[in-house]
Structure 1
Amino acid sequence: MTDLAQRMMMDASLSRTEQAALAIGQLAEQAPHGARLGTKKELQEQCGVAKGTFNEALRILQSRGVITVRSGPGGGLFAASPTPIARLGNSILSLDAAEGDVADAVRIRDALDPLLIEDALDHSSAVDITRMRAALDVMRQTAEAGDATGFVRANWELHAAIARVSPNAILKSIYLSVLDLIESHTVSVEPAGDRPLPEYIAERQQLHVDLVDALDRRDRDAALRLIHAHNTTQHEPEAARVHTA
């Protein structure tokens, strides 16, 4: 068994992507800055995961500033020195997100939403709005298919697209790390309470459509009113029971 395979067995509660990211991240953190960790193929084989799973783990590690990836002769994965902002995101993602921790993360997300909406009003481009509408399309498709979990994940992707517009690196890093924490520990969504879930999802879908429309036309009053309504009515993850890993 390889060293990376042993590292991946340390926490069976994590997904394969998270296990691979944790194992390679630990390897990078223990190596000198700039040290070559191996080729992508070598490390993927040592982790024993599929190519798509491995590439997703690399995306996570690169976004956290833990590794760099170089192509060509002598290329591969190299240990990077995380910036203070990246270390802040890592500390959030290192939390053991039990169900109560996920609820706390949702509260933090809600508190940051108005700041990101302000930034989106001031800085979003036509390309940014197109990305937001693409997430809305996935929300609509999953809603029509009755896929509550898919709808919630598409909703988070919309919020991530809004957050990426912000020029505030600290705000963006904290927010995206909180979203990653919530999403990575969500297993499934089931109806809760007496209200029909399709009815609730339809209302949330329309609220987000209206929010993106307000951002598109730079309607500050409408956008802030909608994000307030978004965060003071029942939240997406609380519209149903979110089962966490």
Structure 2
Amino acid sequence: MVGNDPALRRADWDKPALRRAQQAADSIAELVAATEPGARLGTREELRARCGVSVGTFNETLRILQARGLVTVRPGPGGGLFAAEQSPMVRLGNSVLALDAQQTDVADAVRIRDALDPLLIEDALWHASPADLAGLRDRLGVMAEAAKGGDAAAFVHANWKLHAAIAEISPNPLLRSLYLSLLDLIESHTLSVLPGDGKPLPDYINERLALHAGLIDALERRDRDEAIRLIHAHNVTA
């Protein structure tokens, strides 16, 4: 456990407290980069004071840092936060997470994600189990409910979760990790521009729903030509 105060929920990513937690995590990440692996960074309280955030916000900061594989926590006298040993995979993920929230960065992330989509579809064609396909249909059902209810933000979230579920099918840890890191980057920096609940959905959204339904049908039939055609159409019209 990182503390008694709860960390922020994923649904709260667009709130100022999380932005402060992310900024604090970035600040400590710079400290980690300037030290040797295993070096002591300071106590929790020292680092919290250095970042100028509340206890609850620092709990979330610590969760972010641990998820990135940047720090380890040791209890007792002489304990505190220490710079973690980082594998090449962790360094790759941290490079993605360190991207700025500028529009050009998000656009680049979308471009790279789109380039990886056909690889993930190839893996899904070969490796998707009946349970995996049932899970994809569940995700599609959430998209359909959001479209029916006119909830554009929920539709986009459900769309991202569907693509994350497709990525999870891949047996390739490098491809899976890179894709999911890019998806997290895109999601966390797009929340502030999503339309609010109750806004009318254009025909385009319903077309996207039909495209994803066709894609899952093609995966279930193991129809490679149709699945690849649809994922290219998905990325061209996104």
> If the length of structure 1 is used for normalisation, what is the TM-score?
0.68
CA RMSD in angstroms comes to 3.8
Aligned length: 216
When residues 59 and 129 of structure 1 are mapped into structure 2, their CA distance, relative to the original with a 3 A threshold, is: farther
Return the alpha-carbon distance in structure 2 between the equivalents of residues 65 and 225 of structure 1: 37
What does 1:169-184 correspond to in 2, within 5 Å? 169-184=173-188
Structure with bigger gyration radius: 2
Contact 1:16 1:49 in 2 (8 A): no
- 1:204-223: CA deviation from partner (whole Å, max 9, x where unpaired): 01111221222233221221
Q: Residue 142 of structure 1 contacts residue 150 of structure 1 at CA under 8 Å; is this kept in 2?
A: yes
Superposition deviation, residue 190 in structure 1 = 4.2
* 2:90 matches 1:86: yes
TM-score by length of 2: 0.70
Unaligned segments of structure 1, at least 5 residues? 1-11, 236-245
Deviation, structure 1 residue 90: 1.0
CA distance in 1, matches of 2:189, 2:207: 25
* Aligned counterpart, 1:105: 109
Partner amino acid for 1:124?
A
- Identical-pair percentage: 60
- Contact preservation (8 Å) 2:39, 2:83: yes
Contact 1:65 1:86 in 2 (8 A): yes
| Alpha-carbon distance in structure 2 between the residues aligned to 1:137 and 1:54 | 35
What is aligned with 1:48? Answer: 54
Structure 1 counterpart SS, 2:120: helix
Contact 1:109 1:179 in 2 (8 A): yes
Question: 1:18: how far off?
Answer: 2.6
Which protein has the bigger strand share? 1
Distance 1:141 1:134 in 2: 11
From 124, 131, 135, give the equivalent of 1:127.
131
Q: Secondary structure at the match of 1:101?
A: helix
Residue-by-residue CA offset, 1:160-184 (whole Å, 9 max, x unaligned): 1111222222222221221111111
2:98 is aligned with what amino acid? S
CA deviations over 1:134-172 (Å, ceiling 9, x no partner) = 322322222222221221122111111111222222222
1:97 partner SS: coil
Q: What letter corresponds to residue 189 of structure 1 in structure 2? A: L
Distance 1:127 1:17 in 2: 37
Instruction: Say whether 1:229 aligns with 2:223.
Output: no
Alignment match, 1:139: 143
